[in-house]
């Protein structure tokens, strides 16, 4: 079913006009759709993903809130899952941006770019790897009920905000004025950011990872930075393809870590001059890649305010963050 057909069949245009909307960080508006703030351009994609996606038990979905380390995690997952297929010298991650190798379900697969998403999905080799920013509560039933695996990454909300503010200002429509730090911060504190509120997003996946640890692996950017070796093994085990003793002694884990490292990926020609699509340059996915850069942006009152929100929203959940390296 072509995307435009779906749009008309769903009465998509009417739907958007009926939703509450607020100004967005990147786009003119975000729409309150199924209890999360959805960019207008993603509503059709999320709905089609929900209505038409048929999960396979072998599927792997990397889920994240934007700017929390998605690019890194999809690169690692791709490299882990496909480690038998590619040599170090000819690895696709050397010539393709990770987002080209692992497509986002709502933005790439179920959107106008792919004429027939179902045909495309049916011809993908297994295990199929995808990414998504869709909140857990809005994922298609088929994905939740199948044995498909979900790996979620989140990041401390201070660094996520700085990463989002800098990124969204760069991809923001030319017709819109740049968004100041304070203004963007208020929107972030109100939860009005793409796929937000961010606390609901992380708590949705967090709770599911507690209830079904074999279904959802919950990772933190800071933990990966501190001990990526452990988490590469952890991901491989979770996906049912643990490293053998021989692979470990051959240095396969270290090769994957090196291939997917911030320093290596940022310097690749494809990530310096390539484009994901006509709006997004690949280089925008690689800024500083650090824990704690927020200290260069936050005033004392911003620290107080965001700390209070984190305390209030996450209290009792058991979820906490390392804010500095």
36 or 121, CB closer to ligand A3P?
A: 36
Instruction: Answer for the pair 156, 321: CB distance below 8 angstroms, yes or no.
Output: yes
243 or 286, CB closer to ligand A3P?
A: 286
Q: How far apart are CA 302 and CA 161, in angstroms?
A: 11
At residue 132, the 3 state secondary structure works out as strand
121 or 224, CB closer to ligand A3P?
A: 224
69 or 121, CB closer to ligand A3P?
A: 69
67 or 91, CB closer to ligand A3P?
A: 67
Catalytic annotation on 133?
yes
Q: How far apart are CA 215 and CA 121, in angstroms?
A: 21
Q: How far apart are CA 27 and CA 315, in angstroms?
A: 32
Q: How far is the CB of 262 from ligand A3P (least distance, A)?
A: 4
Question: Alpha helix (H) ranges present in 190-243?
Answer: 198-211, 221-226, 228-238
Q: How far apart are CA 112 and CA 122, in angstroms?
A: 18
Instruction: Answer for the pair 324, 291: CB distance below 8 angstroms, yes or no.
Output: yes
The residue annotated as part of the active site, out of 85, 91, 120, 133, is: 133
Q: How far is the CB of 104 from ligand A3P (least distance, A)?
A: 11
Q: How far is the CB of 43 from ligand A3P (least distance, A)?
A: 20
> What b-and-e string marks burial along 32-42, b requiring 16 or more CB atoms within 10 Å of the CB?
ebeebbbbbeb
Q: How far is the CB of 212 from ligand A3P (least distance, A)?
A: 24
Query: Pairing between strand 29-33 and 36-39?
Result: antiparallel
Q: How far is the CB of 291 from ligand A3P (least distance, A)?
A: 9
Instruction: Answer for the pair 187, 193: CB distance below 8 angstroms, yes or no.
Output: yes
Q: How far is the CB of 68 from ligand A3P (least distance, A)?
A: 5
Chain residues binding ligand A3P by CB under 6 A are 64, 66-72, 159, 163, 260-262, 265, 285-289, 293
128 or 225, CB closer to ligand A3P?
A: 225
Q: How far apart are CA 232 and CA 225, in angstroms?
A: 11
Instruction: Give the torsion through C-alpha atoms of 53, 55, 61, 67, to 10 deg.
Output: 20
Give the catalytic positions in this structure.
Answer: 133
């Amino acid at each position: 079913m072509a995307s435009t057909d779906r749009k008309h069949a769903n009465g998509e245009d009417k739907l958007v006009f009926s939703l509450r909307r607020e100004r967005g960080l990147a786009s003119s508006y975000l729409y309150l759709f199924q209890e999360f703030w959805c960019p207008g351009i993603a509503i059709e994609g999320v709905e089609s993903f929900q209505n038409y996606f048929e999960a396979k038990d072998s599927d792997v979905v990397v889920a994240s809130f934007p700017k929390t380390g998605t690019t890194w995690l999809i690169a690692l997952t791709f490299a882990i899952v496909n480690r038998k297929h590619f040599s170090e010298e000819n690895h696709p991650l050397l010539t393709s941006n990770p987002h080209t190798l692992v497509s986002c379900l709502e933005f790439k697969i179920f959107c106008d770019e792919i004429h027939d998403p179902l045909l495309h999905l049916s011809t993908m080799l297994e295990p199929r790897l995808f990414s998504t920013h869709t909140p857990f509560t809005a994922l298609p039933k088929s994905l939740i009920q199948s044995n498909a695996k979900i790996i979620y990454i989140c990041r401390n909300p201070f660094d996520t905000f700085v990463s989002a503010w800098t990124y969204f200002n760069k991809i923001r429509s030319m017709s819109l004025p740049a968004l100041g730090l304070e203004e963007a911060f208020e929107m972030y504190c109100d939860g009005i950011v793409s796929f937000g509120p961010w606390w609901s997003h992380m708590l949705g996946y967090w709770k599911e990872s507690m209830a079904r640890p074999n279904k959802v692996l919950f990772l933190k950017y800071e933990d990966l930075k501190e001990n990526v070796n452990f988490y590469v093994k952890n991901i491989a085990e979770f996906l049912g393809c643990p490293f053998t003793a021989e692979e470990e002694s051959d240095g396969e884990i270290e090769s994957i870590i090196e291939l997917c490292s911030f320093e290596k990926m940022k310097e690749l020609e494809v990530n310096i001059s390539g484009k994901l699509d006509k709006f997004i340059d690949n280089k925008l996915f690689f800024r500083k890649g650090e824990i704690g850069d927020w200290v260069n942006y936050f005033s004392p009152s911003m620290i107080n305010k965001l700390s209070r929100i984190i305390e209030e929203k996450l209290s009792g959940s058991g979820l906490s963050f390392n804010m500095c390296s």
